[in-house]
Structure 1
């Protein structure tokens, strides 16, 4: 089904309000940082909420909020693939960075995971048999390449968040946040990556494009946790139409870069 601009605007507004509700907040309390994190986690149509936010701001239904103009040009919404792999190599080599920064950056760059999902990963998502480490994102777990595997193992074995532990059971967050019992917030993760020169939305779009060009949509959906098959299909179609030479070039890179990072 092809949606017009108005339908996409309405869908975007509904998804924004659902996202805020699921996060335990409201449009009235929403901050620009939270909005930026939501926009960065998705594709360019999310910016179509701009007119709605102008109305809510003008009538006092929200704090002053804004979204970028939606250009409608997908090519402007992704980073070059060479730039993406340069960022991967930098995180692999940058041992002076924190384990958290390197791990979240590689999860975004290699597996196209949105910030909100990365933040809510727990130790229950990790499968470690002592030889290899797998991450359960969708129905089928994926093998983690080095050095991401050891970074994740370190996060499982050692608590890296600043929050004190609370009495009683609490989720074993892979990325604990500042407050006890809470994971790292999406907007905080976004700020951390921005300091490393990694822009969430455009970098994730590039990751999605690359993966969609290499894997069938069915596999793409099961491995990366896209519960809507249509989402994976859409990215596969986008990858197929982005450039005549894109699929061939991605295929040449698959064995040379995807699992040879260290």
Structure 2
């Protein structure tokens, strides 16, 4: 740590807080706090406890579990204790979260890290299930006495997001015999309109040539604009994913790694040499392309999204526009492999763009961004 005082400051008492990180460490040392994840779920102040837990996991003192699962397991007891007043409702929600949602999150975490949006969706599913039980009680109903007409009435008064969140709970209720069978409409997906290609190209040119903008923001933005990557995936890229192969730079998003144009390569390599959040004891040897402030963690996608948005890049419209250009120029399965998408996703986007594989060779090429001319080699 270049500045030990920054670490000591974290331990110092703060005005208005009865408990400090130093208190947590002291109680751990005395055995007053068990060295388990379950014990950390209820510790206060929760931010200091979360940071301390991540430090202990990074040092191998606590078993490593997904950060988003930790957050959900910490949030759930408070929701059950403070939001739900009916004991029967609390029991149902506890069963639903413990035996349905959490196993799904853990199974997903075994394949790849859980994204913050996946954790928020689990929060929303629990919240909507709680509200639905309260609505039933207000109607003088329970899950056992609820009928199809009641489900229809609830659907009429709620929007697509709430209906989609509740659908999982109702399917679980049917499966566990807590309710009768219902007809549940398929969830609706409201996809944002893609950014016009000319606007996307203009944004790329602006980001490549405006050196007054933060390098971190520019690096994240060009990955979104060129390679159609969601911010949750951008945040989890490492410096090992930026590959130098002689005069060429590649970015590993899938297989094979994708070539990086020279102006973009200059931004990525410049950012790697000047990454922030590298001076603390927790991140001195971080391999994350966008290191976060907490031990072993990358930058939060929402934080990264704010930086990208400040440059005028709307995440979903920009990604959709970039993906449409790719599937117009290459077969959808090739795009899926190279950019880390599922082939079904790229095939659907290709169909929406009214393109077929037989036409990809003759697809029109977009003009280069204004303000730069790519060189033939990096030495030039």
TM-score bracket for the superposition, by shorter chain length: 0.5 to 0.7
Q: Distance in 2 between matches of 1:194 and 1:222?
A: 27
The residue aligned with 1:222 is: 337
Runs (5+) with no aligned partner, structure 2: 1-100, 126-158, 169-187, 375-380
Name which of 224, 229, 234 aligns with 1:108: 224
Name which of 355, 365, 368 aligns with 1:257: 368
| 1:173-210 deviations in Å (ceiling 9; x for gaps) | 01111323211111111111121111111111111111
Highest relative contact order (Cα 8 Å, sep 6+), 1 or 2? 1
Runs (5+) with no aligned partner, structure 1: 1-13, 31-46, 57-69
1:240 and 2:354 aligned: yes
Structure-2-length-normalised TM-score: 0.48
Check whether the contact 1:212–1:235 (CA below 8 A) recurs between aligned residues. Answer: yes
Give the 3 Å change call, closer, same or farther, for CA 167–214 of structure 1 in structure 2: closer
Name which of 243, 252, 255 aligns with 1:127: 243
Check whether the contact 1:163–1:179 (CA below 8 A) recurs between aligned residues. Answer: no
Using the TM superposition, give the Cα deviation of residue 167 of structure 1 relative to its aligned residue in structure 2, in angstroms: 7.7
1:160 and 2:271 aligned: no
The runs of 4+ residues in structure 1 deviating greater than 3 Å are 17-21, 23-30, 47-50, 52-56, 246-250
3-state secondary structure, aligned to 1:190: helix
1:57-68 to 2 correspondence within 5 Å? none
Q: Distance in 2 between matches of 1:174 and 1:190?
A: 15
Give the 3 Å change call, closer, same or farther, for CA 91–167 of structure 1 in structure 2: closer
The residue aligned with 1:88 is: 204
| 1:50-109 deviations in Å (ceiling 9; x for gaps) | 4345899xxxxxxxxxxxxx785x6x6111111111111110111111111111111000
Give the 3 Å change call, closer, same or farther, for CA 86–51 of structure 1 in structure 2: same
Check whether the contact 1:109–1:207 (CA below 8 A) recurs between aligned residues. Answer: yes
The residue aligned with 1:22 is: 114
Matched pairs, number: 209
Check whether the contact 2:290–2:298 (CA below 8 A) recurs between aligned residues. Answer: yes
CA RMSD of aligned residues (A): 3.6
Using the TM superposition, give the Cα deviation of residue 48 of structure 1 relative to its aligned residue in structure 2, in angstroms: 4.8
